[in-house]
Every structure is written in structure tokens, then in C-alpha cells.
Amino acid sequence: MNWYDNAIVYHIYPLGFCGAPKFNDGGDVAYRLDKVLDWIPHFKEMNVDAVYFGPVFESVEHGYDTIDYKMIDRRLGDNNSFRFICDKLHENGIRVILDGVFNHVGRKFPQFVDVQEKGQGSGYCDWFQNLNFGGQSPYGDPFWYEGWNGHYNLVKLNLRNVGVCDHLIDAVNYWIESFGIDGIRFDAADCIDFDFFKRIRSFCKGKKRDFWLMGEIIHGDYNRWANPEMLDSVTNYECYKGLYSSHNDKNYFEIDYSINRQSGANGGIYRGINLYNFVDNHDVNRLASTLNNQAHLPLVYTLMYTMPGIPSVYYGSEYGIHGRKENNSDDNLRPCLHLADMERENVQLYRHIVKLGRVYRAYPALRTGSYERIIITNQQLLFKKQSGDQIVYVALNLADYEYDLRFGTHLPALVDVIGVKQINIENGTASVKMPPYSAMIIVSDDIVNNEPGDEENVIQDVDTEVVIGGKYRHFKGGEYEVTAVARHSESMEELVIYRSLKDDTVWARPKTMFIGKAGDVRRFVRID
């Protein structure tokens, strides 16, 4: 298992995020993207593992009309400033994913300009899809070419041309070697040649074994693109729609059907793929503008974080900001934001998402466990995620009334880590009254929240409670010193390494178990 199978991704559209001018006038460099450095504590509080930057390379307008694949857009900074940003993110344990816009380029792309200037004498005529001199383009060029989706400011590349592929892979090599990037999101992946994907996968995995390849796919069978020969993951547009419409239509059957179809224990068609889950992005209306009831915002995010796949957050939406397409423009979806201003937005939603990040990090079953629906009605859903012996229940009530949740369990004790509430269990039946518009994540061992009345053994934070060099007593009596907190190379699960004070034997135990309980008592209690 690779890092991205356990990741939380934060998505930024840089030109909008920075308030860059709409068009690149070729003027002086402006270091607007440096502001992302001030957001690093924010990313860490959200337990973000990777920042996915939308287009950052020199372009004509919106970033998807590339001029130079090896130059940072002057409206954002320069190569040195972006290298520094990448270094700082990496120093803070945050990986970097870049947008690979490989299906098309802008009209100022040098090789296209060469065709404009030299006509049939250019050596780049075959670099562009269906370029021929039998007619005139909509822009008045003395030749015809194919524009992406009918947009002739986006000139389609011919990915069957070896020179084009060499040019793009050379750029990727530069990004990896110069910026240390950890992955690529492929724009318009459904339009890209399969042989190119196979070649770029071989190249990238050769450079970095755990390099992540994710494609933008809206329709179709995701297995065509996400497979051992091509991409690791694709955008989960099927569940994107189900996440909001199941709440708007008060119909949890819709999203449950999609999840079971994709990843259900009884034959999900994408069970071997961790799809990229999202509730909004730079191309679609913000979730807060899509939901009919704002009280459903925390429920949608809870579901997105706990369903199979890789959760992602689009910048600003953690605060419930609004944004809709208007007059065929995406500008409202891509605003300039300042972190200090976000305190005027939905801070309660932000705190909920922060807690979701902590819970996601604490319980491996949420990240990679199997999905099993237990109870479903139009307005209530209970499902189980299980990995090995660890079981996590997720309960949702989108209704405007209290719901009496009851379900069978073999676990002797349960607690909701969202509301910090014990769940009543009698004769193998768990029961709890769910408030209107509420979500619960129910586990046997709360390793996320403080436990009042147990101040000596309280777990303050899932990421900081284990002290390296600290002495601990096991509930069976043995005493140990923690020597390190490591990370499993395949599952990325945190492991506590500790040494017996009696005979110096060294042990390793999953962090979630080390700080958890054995029955009703703490497994380890600090003694120094």
C-alpha cells in the first residue's frame, strides 16, 4: 500500500487562490503563490497529506492553455520561489501534486507559434491533432486544427507523435527532479491516448515507486483508466453527484447503491482502486451552493471522509463558502481567499472537518477497510468499515427529527467520537438517539477525544500523545521506554517502537493500539 491510499488531499486552484490577473500580459514576476506558505499550519491542522495544485505553469489565461511546461506562471512566481514552496511543504510532511494538462496547449505555445509563422514549412505541424492546410481556423489561421471540446484557444496535442510525448515526459522529469513532486493529476484524462499513459506510468514509477497518477474522468468505466498499466486513481464523479443529491432528495439509497456498486464487499467493480473522492472542485458549484439545506454540510463531509476512497477538500469549502458558475464563467468557483477572513465563515464546519481528519488518521479501518451497509432508510444510513479486527460504524441522520438508532454488535463498548458520547449496549444491541441532521462515527476505543475524569491517562491528540523517551507501564505490569514513532512502509500506519526496561527487548505496536484500551483500561500509561 502506498501513501496515497491513506491520504487526505487539499486542492488549490492557484491563479484564483492568489487573485492573479485574468490574463498573462508577460509583465513582471509577482510572487503571489508564496501566500500558500502561510497556510501550512492550516493544512497540518486538517491532517492534509498532499496539496494538489491546479495549473501553475506559464499560460495565456486560466492555466489550462499552457505556454511553457517548464516555467512557473509569472503571475504566481518563478521556478525558484515554487521550488522553495515545495521544499517547505515537504519539510512539513506534505506532498505535492501538480496538474498535468497534456491534452491541449494555448495558442502561444512556441511550437504552435512556429506553425503560424512557417506554415507547412514548420517541423511541428504533426504535433497538433488534425492540423491541415485545407481550410481556415476560427481564429483566422491559414490552417485548420482541432480544439479541445470546441474551444479553439485550447489546441489539441497529437499524443501519437513521439516528439510530443518526449516533450511532455521531459517536463515531468524536470518537475520531479527540480521540485520533487509526488504525483500528477491528468486533466481531461478521457481524451488522452492510452499508450501515452502506459509510457508515462513506466517513467514516473521508475523515478519514484510511490508516485501518484490520478486522472480526471467524468463518465465511463473507471477500470479503463485506473489499472496496473496506467493510472492509480481517477476522479469519482459518480459519487460526487450521489453525495449531494442523496441529501437534497432525501434518498440515501442513491449513494449507498453507488458505493456498493463500486466497492461493496459482494463484488464491487472498483474494489482494487482507491478513487479520488470530492464534494466540489474548480469546475463545479461549491457544495454549500449545491445543498438545499446547509445543515447537511457536516453529513456530506462525514460520508466523503468515511466512504471507500481518497478524501479531498477544495480550498475554502472547509469553511462552507458559496460559489456558482455564472454566465459560463468559473470565476466564482475560484476566488482569492485570505485565511484570516475565513473566521467570518462557517467555523463550526471547519472544526468538524478538522476532527474528521483526526479520526481518519486514527482508525485504519476508515482509510482502507471494507464497506458494509447495515441499516438504510431514505433519511438514515448506518454502515460498517472493517480492517482486520478493527470495526468503525458510521451513522447518518439527514432528517429534521430525532432517530432511534439500534443495531446488533459483538463489541462490548462503543462511543461516538464525533459527539463524544457513549453508546448504550444491552444484550448485543447498541442503541442511541441521533439528533436531527447529525453524523456519528462509532468505535470501541476513543483515541481522539479527551476523556473527562481520567486526566492522568487522557489522550490529548492522536498525533502528539506518544512521547519519545517517555517511560510507560503496560497494563500487565511491564515497563518500557518509547524509542521512536515510525511509519509502516506499505500501509503508512504509525508504529510505536518501545524497549523493555527489564531486558532491553525491542517491540513495535500500531500506534492506535499503543494509545488505546485493553477492555476498560489503558494499554499503556505514562509513568515519568
DSSP 225: T
Tell me which residue of 47, 44, 27, 35 sits closest to 82, measured CA to CA.
35
Whether the pLDDT of residue 453 is over 50: the answer is: no
- How far is 141 from 460, CA to CA, in rounded Å? 65
DSSP 205: H
Contact by Cβ (8 Å): 372, 386: yes
Tell me which residue of 462, 460, 438 sits closest to 450, measured CA to CA.
460
The band of 520, judged by pLDDT with boundaries at 50, 70 and 90, is low
Q: Which residues contact 94 (CB under 8 A, 6 or more apart)?
A: 40, 43, 44, 48, 49, 50, 51
Q: What's the CATH fold of domain 471-526?
A: SH3 type barrels. (2.30.30)
Whether the pLDDT of residue 284 is over 90: the answer is: yes
Q: What is the mean pLDDT of residues 381-391?
A: 96
Could you give phi then psi for residue 310, rounded to 5 degrees?
-105, 115
Amino acid 528: pLDDT:
81
The band of 515, judged by pLDDT with boundaries at 50, 70 and 90, is confident
* DSSP helix/strand/coil, 484: strand
- How far is 182 from 98, CA to CA, in rounded Å? 8
- How far is 234 from 257, CA to CA, in rounded Å? 19
Between helix 162-174 and helix 194-207 the angle, nearest 10°, is 30
- How far is 72 from 75, CA to CA, in rounded Å? 8
* Ramachandran bin of 55, using left for φ above 0, alpha for ψ from -120 to 50, beta for the remaining angles: beta
Strands of 171-217 (E only): list them. 183-186, 212-215
* DSSP helix/strand/coil, 446: coil
Amino acid 455: pLDDT:
32
Tell me which residue of 358, 349, 384, 348 sits closest to 446, measured CA to CA.
358
Tell me the three cell numbers of residue 186. Answer: 491528468
Q: Do the bridges between strand 517-518 and strand 521-522 make them parallel or antiparallel, or are there none, so unpaired? A: antiparallel
Whether the pLDDT of residue 450 is over 60: the answer is: no
Tell me the pTM.
0.87
CATH architecture for segment(s) 104-158? Alpha-Beta Complex (3.90)
Whether the pLDDT of residue 382 is over 50: the answer is: yes
CATH class for domain 1-103+176-234? alpha beta
Contact by Cβ (8 Å): 21, 75: yes
Could you give phi then psi for residue 423, rounded to 5 degrees?
-100, 130
Return mean pLDDT, the chain. 93
Between helix 297-306 and helix 237-248 the angle, nearest 10°, is 150
Amino acid 523: pLDDT:
83
- How far is 397 from 291, CA to CA, in rounded Å? 15
Helix (H) or strand (E) holding 358: helix 347-362
User: How far are the Cα atoms of 55, 105, 366 from residue 25, in angstroms, in the given order?
Assistant: 17, 17, 47
Tell me which residue of 185, 201, 196, 184 sits closest to 157, measured CA to CA.
196
Domain covering 368-443 assigned CATH 2.60.40.1180 in the classification: yes
Whether the pLDDT of residue 64 is over 90: the answer is: yes
Neighbours of 277 (CB within 10 A): 21
The band of 367, judged by pLDDT with boundaries at 50, 70 and 90, is very high
Whether the pLDDT of residue 424 is over 80: the answer is: yes
- How far is 401 from 238, CA to CA, in rounded Å? 29
Tell me the three cell numbers of residue 443. Answer: 468505535
Tell me the three cell numbers of residue 453. Answer: 475524569
- How far is 94 from 87, CA to CA, in rounded Å? 9
Which amino acid type is present at position 281? Answer: N
Greatest alpha-carbon pair distance for the chain in Å reads: 86
Q: Which residues contact 206 (CB under 8 A, 6 or more apart)?
A: none
- How far is 290 from 373, CA to CA, in rounded Å? 26
Whether the pLDDT of residue 489 is over 80: the answer is: no
- How far is 434 from 441, CA to CA, in rounded Å? 12
- How far is 404 from 436, CA to CA, in rounded Å? 11
Q: What is the mean pLDDT of residues 135-150?
A: 96
Amino acid 266: pLDDT:
76
Each domain of the chain, given as residue ranges in start order, spans 1-103+176-234, 104-158, 368-443, 471-526
List pLDDT tens digits, range 182-199.
999 999 999 999 999 999
Q: What is the mean pLDDT of residues 69-75?
A: 98
Beta bridge partners of 171: none
The full length of the chain comes to: 528
Among 148-152, 267-271, 455-459, 469-473, the range scoring the smallest mean pLDDT is 455-459
* 506 vs 512: which has the higher pLDDT: 506
Whether the pLDDT of residue 501 is over 70: the answer is: yes
* DSSP helix/strand/coil, 398: coil
- How far is 65 from 128, CA to CA, in rounded Å? 14
Contact by Cβ (8 Å): 180, 90: yes
Tell me which residue of 241, 232, 285, 283 sits closest to 259, measured CA to CA.
241
Contact by Cβ (8 Å): 233, 217: no
User: Alpha carbon 266 to chain centroid distance?
Assistant: 26
Question: How many separate helices (H) and strands (E) can be counted in the chain?
Answer: 13, 28
